[in-house]
Amino acid sequence: MSEFTLIAHRGFSSRAPENTIPAFELAVESGFPNFELDAQLSSDGAAVVIHDETLERTTGGSGLVATHTLAELQSLDAGARFTGERPKGQVRIPTLEDVLQRFHGRAHIHLELKSGEETLAHAVAELLLRHGWLGFATAEPFESPGITVTSFALEQLERSRELVPEIRHSWLISKIDPSVIDQARAARIQGLCPQAATADADSIGLARDVGFVVRGWGVRNESDLKNLFQTGAQGTTVDWPDRARAYLRSLP
């Protein structure tokens, strides 16, 4: 268990509204200093923390995130659709800047670039530079404080790496195979993140043997979690890190 890191997916999203300050605070307070978040841009160029391209699922608003100003986005309740015990008051969509300031020196943030916009990579890089996160770039893969930039778009990772080459970059993929490894090596990406359901020991072993950090995503249940743990992944994102920790500790 000590070599397998649980990353609170969108914060402690099973117990607080996802991608909000309360979810990130709860993760850190509960002993999970590694947490994941999603960044995209408002219509006026602010980097905001929200997963979906649209507002309906989490806020009860409507339309695209990218067509709303920061002020419009922050007038919405980011916990409107949360079915658990809500934090008191309105929960706002946070800016990435707010998160970077609040958790500086307190967390390892796994920061997913949700879109392929060049302006997003530039905005995120500028914020990381401005708020001193490059000082954590030499941290071990899951050491806290630390920073890892992720994306499903290899081109976006290459763009980000050109802007902040000191920082670890990891590619979110469905499955590791020799072609993926070759592409990632050519792009000088340091990490690979296979989907939990398709992870296997041979491909993870191949990736780790040539120096990649490997962590999973898409854990739906204990079976997915066990698969990643037993096939050699070094960690994974998960919505329920407390239950995941207890489950992994129960394994022989």
Q: Which of the residues are catalytic?
A: 9, 51
Q: Which residue has the tokens 């707010």?
A: 98
CA distance 244 to 251: 11
CA distance 103 to 74: 20
CA distance 209 to 65: 40
Tokens standing for residue 170: 């990891």
Residues 6+ apart with CB under 8 A from 136: 108, 145, 146, 147
Cα–Cα distances (Å) from 3 to 53, 84, 116, 164, 189, in that order, read 34, 31, 32, 27, 22
- Residue 91 CA, chain-centre distance (Å), reads 20
CA distance 235 to 215: 5
- Angle between helical axes of 201-209 and 178-187 (0-180°, round to 10): 30
Please classify residue 131 by burial: count the beta carbons closer than 10 Å to its beta carbon, then call 0-12 exposed, 13-18 middle and 19+ buried. Answer: middle
Q: Which residue has the tokens 């994974």?
A: 236
